[in-house]
Amino acid sequence: MASHPDHDQGGSRASTVLRVTSGNFLEMFDFFAFGFYATYIAKAFFPSESDVAALMLTFMTFGAGFLMRPLGAVLLGAYVDRVGRRKGLIVTLSIMAAGTILIALVPDYASIGLVAPVLVLIGRLLQGFSAGVELGGVSVYLAELAPPGRQGFYVAWQSGSQQVAIMAAAAIGYALNRLLMPAEMGAWGWRIPFLIGCLLVPFLFYIRRSLQETSAFRARKVHPPVGAVLRTLARNWRIVWLGMLMVAMTTIAFYAITVYTPTFGKNVLRLSDTDSLIVTFCVAVSNLFWLPVMGALSDRIGRRPILLLFSGLTLVTAYPALAWLVAHPSFETMLAVLLWLSFLYGGYNGAMVVALTEIVPPEVRTAGFSLAYSLATALFGGMTPLIATWLIAETGNKAAPGLWLALGGACGLLATLIIYRRRASDLPAPVTSAPLASAPVTPART
């Protein structure tokens, strides 16, 4: 019987989880830094007579990276399903690191003109291409690593690592705001978090290279070529589409309460940078608590009831919560509202990510998961800062982003009802860490 990756080299499951989620940490650390320092980045690379226009251009660049995710999901996802989880995770980290280094070191517009925003855009595209399969690769690895009946708890740490990254980035931002003057932050201080991300790259490569291949992947006798993976994805387009709708809820909520929160607090509610950072830090702590708790609960009572409950609550409470915040803008109100939204996000996502690994056919698990997740992020979540900014500008309603959050809840609710309406026997086999049968698996059909 093939050994578990956590037993190889005498390592523990906990250390393996840490190593495999390291790339998620780097990705979200940089994404959060980009969102929080969007106003500084706008002035450095997108000079404009209108601050709103410059900010919109910055968020368009931020969102452009998400448009690359589906391409990365298909190409890199098929590669991972062909060559293995470990090799794929090393490749995605390499591409992500290249984008991070580029953004950190590009001179501003005043120094090199139009070349500056073009290079920043290239950096975001590289990050997006890599991230297209990073989440899927990590989630599938954790699902195949987990002991039977504990997949929800283990896979939740994929999202958990992102919350640690947000906490780290928020703490660094808080320290910079205390140590540097506003002019220094605008001139060069905003680059410090990105440079810290660059310094982490060698360490992340070191710990990720020590990963072992999962026993579930090694036990499979047939590893389809890229063309076969793509054909299987095409045959299972309904699962990918429904998975995309399911992910829409979590990705809209996540980017709203983390990446967009600092901008919302500063530019819309006129709260201080410090207040916005403290709220974001508390949100990340809350997320980190609820994700594994709800993942473990879904192992006990099933994915469906949790997905229905939290998507439904998001649909009916997101806009009223933001309307209350806008009517009473204060640090205390913002903290209360964002912690509520964090509870909704953490509850839903704790069950959603593992559910997505279970509904995708095993032989295209990484590519199918990644494509569904990437499409949702590109069309919904990654555009959340841009859409929220546009909604407020067009409607004059500062609570309008709550409507976008409610739409995410509706998507998650609809997808859950359709997916779990079918009998359990109609769904693909759950992810298992035990060796699989030697015969090739017939692609699941919807």
Q: What is the pLDDT of residue 252?
A: 94
Are 26 and 165 within 8 A, CB to CB? Answer: yes
Is the CB of residue 433 less than 8 Å from the CB of residue 216?
A: yes
Residue 35 in tokens:
């969102």
- The rounded distance, in Å, linking the Cα atoms of 340 and 327 is 17
| Domain annotation for the chain: domains and CATH numbers | 21-210+217-422 (1.20.1250.20)
Report the 10 Å Cβ neighbour count for 46. Answer: 20
**Treating both helix axes as pointing N-terminal to C-terminal, what angle do 151-179 and 331-359 enclose, rounded to 10 degrees?**
150
Q: What is the pLDDT of residue 288?
A: 93
- Residues 240, 223: Cα–Cα separation, whole Å: 20
- Asked whether the beta carbons of 160 and 292 are under 8 A apart, the reply is yes
Q: What is the pLDDT along the chain (446 residues), one digit of tens a residue?
A: 334 444 443 347 777 787 778 777 877 787 777 767 777 887 788 776 667 777 777 777 777 777 888 888 888 777 777 766 667 777 877 888 888 888 888 898 888 888 888 888 888 888 888 877 777 777 878 887 788 888 889 888 888 888 888 888 878 888 888 888 888 888 888 889 888 888 888 887 787 777 676 666 666 666 667 677 778 888 888 999 999 999 999 999 998 888 787 778 877 888 877 788 788 889 989 999 999 999 999 999 999 999 999 999 999 999 999 999 999 888 899 999 999 999 999 999 999 999 998 888 877 777 788 889 888 988 888 788 889 888 998 999 999 999 999 999 999 999 999 998 864 444 555 555 443 333 333 333 33
Q: Are 406 and 321 in contact (CB under 8 A)?
A: no
Name the phi and psi angles at 271, rounded to 5.
-85, 165
Task: Give pLDDT, residue 221.
Answer: 62
pLDDT score for 7? 40
CA distance 329 to 322: 10
Cα–Cα distances in angstroms (integers) from residue 19 to residues 127, 138, 205, 212, 403, in the given order: 19, 10, 9, 10, 38
Distance, in Å, from the CA atom of 19 to the CA atom of 132, rounded to the nearest integer, reads 19
Q: Say what the pTM is.
A: 0.77
- Name the DSSP class of 147: P
**pLDDT of 166:** 82
Give, in order, the Cα–Cα distances in Å from 4 to each of 7, 215, 236, 429: 5, 6, 30, 20
Buried b (16+ CB within 10 A) or exposed e, 109-136: beeeeeebbebbbbbbbbbbbbbbbbbb
Residue-level pLDDT at 434: 41
Instruction: State the number of CA atoms in the 13 A half-sphere of 347 facing the CB.
Output: 19
What is the model's pLDDT at position 140? 78
Q: What is the pLDDT of residue 301?
A: 94
Closest CA to 52 of 393, 380, 353, 290: 393
